[in-house]
Structure 1
Amino acid sequence: MLVRDLMSTDVVTVGVDATLRDAAGKILAEHVGSVVVVDDGTPTGIVTESDALGAAHDRDQPLGEISVRDLAHPPLVTTGPDRTVQSVARTMADEGVKKVIVTEDLSVVGIVTLTDVVYHLADLRKEATAAATDIAERDWRTDD
């Protein structure tokens, strides 16, 4: 299964000059767990619900005075839409992230979350079993 088969294409973004209040407003209005920070359409970072809560807790400032530029997680983990979901899941585990931005030509085209991977786990297992069966049958035929 490829990333394009399960990615969400409705990616919520904010500009690099947005405030945390702007980002939190979009997170709440769109019912998402994060916003991708973009600079002229190019992703530069991500701000999650946890980032927003942490900044609200740790800083003695109104959210409208906190720039998302200061909170966005670099380096941003990205992938292309034609990569396998299994390899992206491995990248998530290796990088310790729950969200991977899908890009083409430096433009955001989607997002894959850990929830997306878990939701499609049965399909991924079925695909892996079918591939293993195909390999075993080919090996069996060539053993003759």
Structure 2
Amino acid sequence: MRVRDVMTTDVLAADAEDSVRAAVGRMLDEGTGSVVVEKDGNPAGILTKVDVLDAGHEYDRPLSEIPVYAAASHPLITVEPSATVRAASARMFDYGVHHLPVADGLDLVGVVTATDLLEAQDDLLAEARGADERREEWEE
């Protein structure tokens, strides 16, 4: 199974100079846990719920006074849509992230989350069982 099969294609973006409060409002309105931060029109980081908590604690200022880029995780760690789900989950584990933007070259085409991977678990298990069955047929 590939990342393109499980990713969300609706990517929420915010300008680097927007306030964290404004970004959080958009995240709540859209029911998403992250927003990609754009600097000069290019993806430059990602703001997640955890980043918001860290920023609120670290800066000890209202979220309306903290720029998104200051609170966001950067540099942006990405994965390609053609990558396997296993490769994406390994990348997420290696970097300790739960939201992984999906980039096709320089174009941001989606986001894959830990929740997306969990929701795909049954399909992944079925795919693995099918591969095992085909392997047994080849060995006969």
In the TM superposition, what is the alpha-carbon distance from 1:75 to its structure 2 partner?
2.7
State the partner residue of 2:64: 64
Counterpart residue identity of residue 134, structure 1: R
Deviation, 1:73, is 0.7
* Cα 1:62–1:83 shift into 2, 3 Å: same
SS in 2 for 1:56: helix
Question: Structure 2: where are the runs of 5+ without partners?
Answer: none
Paired with 2:73 and 2:46, the residues of 1 have a C-alpha distance of: 5
Question: 1:136, 1:96 → 2: CA distance?
Answer: 37
- Paired residues for 1:121-140 under 5 Å: 121-138=121-138, 140=139
Rounded to whole Å, the distance in 2 between the matches of 1:136 and 1:70 is 54
**1:8-49 Cα distance to aligned partner (Å, 9 max, x none):** 011111012211122111111111111111124422111111
Hey, which bits of structure 1, 4+ residues long, moved more than 3 A? none
Partner SS, residue 38 of structure 2: strand
Letter in 2 for 1:129: R
**Native 8 Å contact 2:79 2:103 kept in 1:** yes
Q: What does residue 86 of structure 2 align with?
A: 86
Q: Which region of structure 1 is more displaced relative to structure 2, 29-38 or 47-56?
A: 47-56
Q: For 1:1-144, what aligned pairs fall within 5 Å after superposition?
A: 1-138=1-138, 140-141=139-140
Tell me how many residue pairs correspond in the alignment: 140
In structure 1, list runs of 5 or more residues that go unmatched.
Answer: none
Rg comparison, structure with higher value: 1
TM-score when scaled to structure 1? 0.88
Whether the 8 Å CA contact 2:7–2:116 is kept in 1: the answer is yes
Q: Report the identity percentage.
A: 42
The answer (yes or no) to whether the contact 2:34–2:48 under 8 Å persists in 1 is yes
Per the alignment, in what secondary structure is the counterpart of residue 79 of structure 1?
Answer: coil
Q: Is the 8 A contact 1:41 1:107 kept in 2?
A: no
- Distance between the aligned counterparts of 2:57 and 2:40, measured in 1? 30
Instruction: Judge conservation of contact 2:51–2:73 (CA < 8 Å) in 1.
Output: no
